[in-house]
Amino acid sequence: MFENELETIPASLHLISEARPLIDVRAPVEFAQDALPGAVNLPLMVDEERRQVGIAYKQQGQHAAIALGERLVSGDIKQARVAAWQAYLAEHPDAIIYCFRGGLRSQIAQQWLNEAGIAKPRIRGGWKAMRHALCQRIDVAAEQPMLVVAGLTGCAKTTLINRLDNGVDLEACAHHKGSAFGRRPEAPATQIDFEHALAARLLALPGKLVIEDESRQIGSANIPLTFWYALQKAPRVRIEMPLDWRLDQLLNDYIIELEREYTAHFGAQQGWELMQRQLGNALIRLEKRLGNARLQRMQRLQALAFKAHGEGNPQAHEAWLAPLLTEYYDPLYRYHLEKQRATAAPELHVGDWDSCWEAAKQWSA
């Protein structure tokens, strides 16, 4: 069925670190669950075609499944799939093809492209081999020197991380800010996509790493255990900033920046409505910890703040953000800190944001 000279290349992390264009020919449902960093989905079969072929494989075997696939993806449909690959390759001539295991689907794509006069390699072992290599990179990183940046909510820990060349922003990898209020307009990363994004970031950082103090779960994803255990043992710096300063940070992150993101995604009116719904639901998710009376008080303050915000005064949100900090986040973090002190490495430095940034730079150097 295939030419013997169809080229393969090994599953190498250089493909990710060099940002090589990747064509994922798996079905859209597979791609949505676990893509490789930088890949584009140009499927050989769409979801329904894949489903039918899968049923044929289970009931009648491989030959029947292949025959059905050839019937489903033929004629104009086949031409459209090849045309999509050709169009992408015209703009990205160094692109590489992959499927789940580097087998039948990527070979078919190669063969069809060959028939169109285009020879392109596929990744040997496909997505599965690349994922294995990415997960290994995270395990290796667990042995690298780490510094953890700690501090109460609103201390701009993420900002400090991103000011450093060797900072690893776990929240960016997760597409989530990490708290009940951390949901963004785009969907949070799946577990696999989070791990792939983390590994891709680590590829550029062979030495010391600076990472924010996080819970193990960030949005929908969990920090891999080897990496998590290393974080718990790592030395740390702790930022201490006054409440007013932290409120300004929280107002920017939870309100100003969130509104900008929602309106950019959904337009002014729908974005405004969805943002209000997200923040309202975030408060409700804290009911068990806040208690009903405090929840209702904060909900009233939040409703008044949104009314004032709609009239041009986003600063009004401080009325409910301040008790959210002092009555929920601060006690929770101090409890977490006390538990950590029994097992965690000593704090290298405690001070304001600027001094912690300097301390992190010095440690990194």
Choice among 99, 155, 173, 356 that is catalytic: 99
For tokens 């002014």, name the residue: 268
Of 231, 235, 76, 212, the C-alpha closest to 141 is: 231
Phi/psi of residue 45, nearest 5 degrees: -130, 140
Question: Is 181 within 8 Å of 228 (Cβ atoms)?
Answer: no
Residue 284, helix vs strand vs coil: helix
- For residue 202 the two structure tokens come to 């680590």
In this structure, which amino acid lies at residue 85? W
Distance CA 218, CA 319 (A): 27
356 labelled catalytic: no
Distance CA 268, CA 252 (A): 18
Of 220, 245, 230, the C-alpha closest to 352 is: 245
Phi-psi region of 126 (alpha: psi -120 to 50; beta: other; left: phi over 0): left
Report the catalytic residues: 99
